[in-house]
Chain A
Amino acid sequence: GDSVTQMEGPVTLSEEAFLTINCTYTATGYPSLFWYVQYPGEGLQLLLKATKADDKGSNKGFEATYRKETTSFHLEKGSVQVSDSAVYFCALRNSGYSTLTFGKGTMLLVSP
């Protein structure tokens, strides 16, 4: 079946540091890939997505590139802020389906 593997957290960074959160996937077919963010006490919000190989999703300074050859969708940001502290979820949706398969989430803690 489909699965998503994320690096375990927490990831602890100082403000303005570079961020990478690794995500790899296993799926039959050609999935769409997503990053969701969950701020404390809230539901998940879509951060960015990519629907085919080599697509780059970007939003709020975050980027991720769909790499089919390495089955990866790593999340990056050049300079994190304290307000980026949250839990980040990588997810996939296989073609023809409406359900998402989520990774376990990676907590990011950014200190001033």
Chain B
Amino acid sequence: DARVTQTPRDKVTEMGQEVTMRCQPILGHNTVFWYRQTMKQGLELLAYFRNRAPLDDSGMPKDRFSAEMPDATLATLKIQPSEPRDSAVYFCASGLVLGTSGRAYNEQFFGPGTRLTVL
């Protein structure tokens, strides 16, 4: 049963510390999305990658957030330094997009999320 996995599931840290969240997309998927979920803002798209290249990170605060895909099986989202307002659940999702037009081929599959609390 193919699933998106995320680690850690829960993270509590102090303001100013670096936080790294990891995601393993479903094997064979070429598109990875990072979302943030808060009660106030709901689900926000932070960034997404296709074939490991960043396509859009306009939803991400650039001064402290960074997202990378070191290889096809790992995506990372890093916050440095972390702030209390970063407290949220961070979801990774993966999907398969085919063709030069970027027409989506299948749904986005979500991981279980990382619940981040910054004190």
| A interface with B by C-beta (< 8 Å) | 34, 36, 41-46, 49, 89, 93, 95-100, 102-105
Contacts and interface: CB of A to CB of B under 8 A. Distances in A.
Contacts, number: 49
B42 A43 contact: no
B66 interface: no
B114 to A, nearest CB: 11
Main secondary structure of the interface of A (DSSP, over half): loop
A103 to B, nearest CB: 7
Contact of A98 (B31, B110, B113): B31
Interface extent on B, as a size class?
Answer: 20 to 34
Given A45-B110, A46-B107, A105-B43, A98 B95 contact: yes
A43 B31 contact: no
B56 interface: yes
Contact of B102 (A34, A41, A98, A105): A98
B45 interface: yes
21 contacts: A42-B113, A43-B4, A43-B91, A43-B93, A43-B110, A43-B111, A43-B112, A44-B110, A46-B107, A46-B108, A97-B102, A98-B48, A98-B50, A98-B97, A98-B102, A99-B45, A99-B48, A102-B42, A102-B43, A105-B42, A105-B43
